[in-house]
């Protein structure tokens, strides 16, 4: 088992990475506050892992709520279902919520923990690659609104993140590929050597080699932990982790949450951001091609959806959380391994990039 620490003073917490960690009673017992637990999961993950998780919680009073699976259910209606379950079961401030699932469950359960009785403890148990390498770490919790993704939420750090890589054995190939978009993102933003390692180890990763999986999860979590420790509330360096998300969130909102997986939309968003970098002369054509090819090698889309022109993107991007004083700001790669925030992108440049990037 590998262990990392997110250094946030009194809020510091561990990230555990390894095989069969759902069976490790002590990992849960060390992180749980009080004697009551509410497990939040969905109807895909629960049949696979809920009982295993409950078997590791025999010293606690355990309730559960099982939600429908999918991004389209990440909204205030299903968020309220979690709160109602907590109230019906008479949970109090010494309850710990366990988020057992992917990014949607982690975000909603975490937001419920942030809000219930003004804040209770929670533990992240991510079961998808995307959640394991990104969304489970850092304390961002939220639900979507019809007009924008993750517009309603709070920063609320977990007690621990327990990452069992065996959960990836049951993850559909499309979901695994979506997670790889976030893995590739970390290489582009922070680590050129990691990006090169990904290029050279596509087969091992796609065949779920446990050594390769442990390495990529640990590397991504280490980067995320370092960034969060420096900038917990996304006022500075943490903004760079949004590479591709300004474009990607627009795709998700326009297409309908769930039609495109988050990682798929981010993959296209990263390629669009890279094309903008190439247009501005920040990267060369070889770097752009390497980024595009690595996405394709992991079976990810690289072109924007049909019928999404500039006006469509702009309507959604104006709601992006990086907008400052009415100005759109974009995270753009300046090389593979380095990114920066730019606020001088023109609509003409956006038009050029978007109109030349639409699928078919």
What positions carry a catalytic annotation? 118, 140, 182, 224, 234, 238, 242, 245, 249, 262
Closest CA to 265 of 288, 277, 249, 253: 249
Report yes or no: 243 and 185 within 8 Å, Cβ to Cβ.
yes
Measured in residues, the chain has a length of 360
**HSE-CB for 340 with a 13 A CA cutoff:** 10
Residue position matching structure tokens 């022109």: 309
Report yes or no: 111 and 124 within 8 Å, Cβ to Cβ.
no
Report yes or no: 167 and 131 within 8 Å, Cβ to Cβ.
no
Q: Which helix (H) or strand (E) holds 198?
A: helix 192-200
CA distances from 143 to 67, 219, 234 (A): 14, 27, 18
Residue position matching structure tokens 């988050």: 262
Report yes or no: 224 and 247 within 8 Å, Cβ to Cβ.
no
Q: Give the separation between CA 122 and CA 97, rounded to whole angstroms.
A: 4
Q: Give the separation between CA 4 and CA 315, rounded to whole angstroms.
A: 40
From the number of C-beta atoms within 10 Å of its C-beta (0-12, 13-18, 19+), residue 173 rates as exposed
Give the neighbor-by-neighbor strand order of the sheet with 13-18.
Answer: 2-6, 13-18, 161-164, 121-126, 95-101, 36-42, 61-67
Report yes or no: 287 and 332 within 8 Å, Cβ to Cβ.
no
């Amino acid at each position: 088992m590998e262990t990392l620490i997110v250094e946030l003073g009194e809020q510091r917490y561990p990230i555990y990475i390894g095989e069969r960690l759902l069976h490790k009673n002590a990992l849960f017992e060390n992180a749980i506050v009080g004697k009551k637990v509410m497990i939040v999961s969905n109807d895909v993950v629960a049949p696979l892992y809920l009982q295993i998780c409950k078997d590791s919680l025999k010293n606690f009073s355990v309730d559960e709520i099982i939600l429908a699976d999918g991004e389209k259910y990440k909204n205030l209606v299903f968020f309220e279902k979690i709160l109602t379950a907590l109230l019906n079961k008479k949970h109090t401030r010494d309850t710990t919520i366990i988020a057992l699932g992917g990014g949607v469950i982690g975000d909603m359960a975490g937001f419920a923990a942030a809000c219930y009785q003004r804040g209770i403890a929670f533990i992240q148990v991510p079961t998808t690659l995307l959640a394991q390498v990104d969304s489970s770490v850092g304390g961002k919790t939220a639900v979507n609104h019809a007009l924008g993704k993750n517009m309603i939420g709070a920063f609320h750090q977990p007690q621990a993140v327990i990452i069992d890589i065996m959960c990836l054995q049951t993850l559909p190939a499309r979901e695994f590929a979506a997670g790889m978009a976030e893995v590739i993102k970390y290489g582009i933003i922070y680590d050129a050597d990691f990006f090169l390692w990904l290029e050279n180890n596509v087969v091992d990763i796609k065949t779920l080699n446990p050594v390769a999986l442990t390495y990529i999860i640990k590397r991504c979590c280490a980067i995320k932990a370092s960034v969060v420790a420096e900038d917990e509330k996304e006022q500075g360096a943490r903004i760079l982790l949004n590479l591709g998300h300004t474009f990607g969130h627009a795709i998700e909102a326009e297409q309908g949450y769930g039609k495109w997986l988050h990682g798929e939309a981010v993959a296209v968003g990263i390629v669009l951001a890279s094309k903008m970098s190439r247009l501005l002369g920040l990267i060369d054509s070889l770097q752009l091609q390497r980024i595009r090819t690595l996405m394709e090698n992991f079976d990810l889309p690289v072109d924007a959806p049909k019928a999404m022109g500039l006006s469509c993107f702009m309507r959604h991007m104006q709601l992006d959380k990086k907008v400052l004083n009415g100005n759109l700001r974009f995270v753009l790669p300046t090389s593979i391994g380095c990114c920066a925030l730019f606020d001088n992108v023109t609509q003409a440049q956006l038009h050029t990039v978007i109109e030349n990037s639409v699928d078919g």
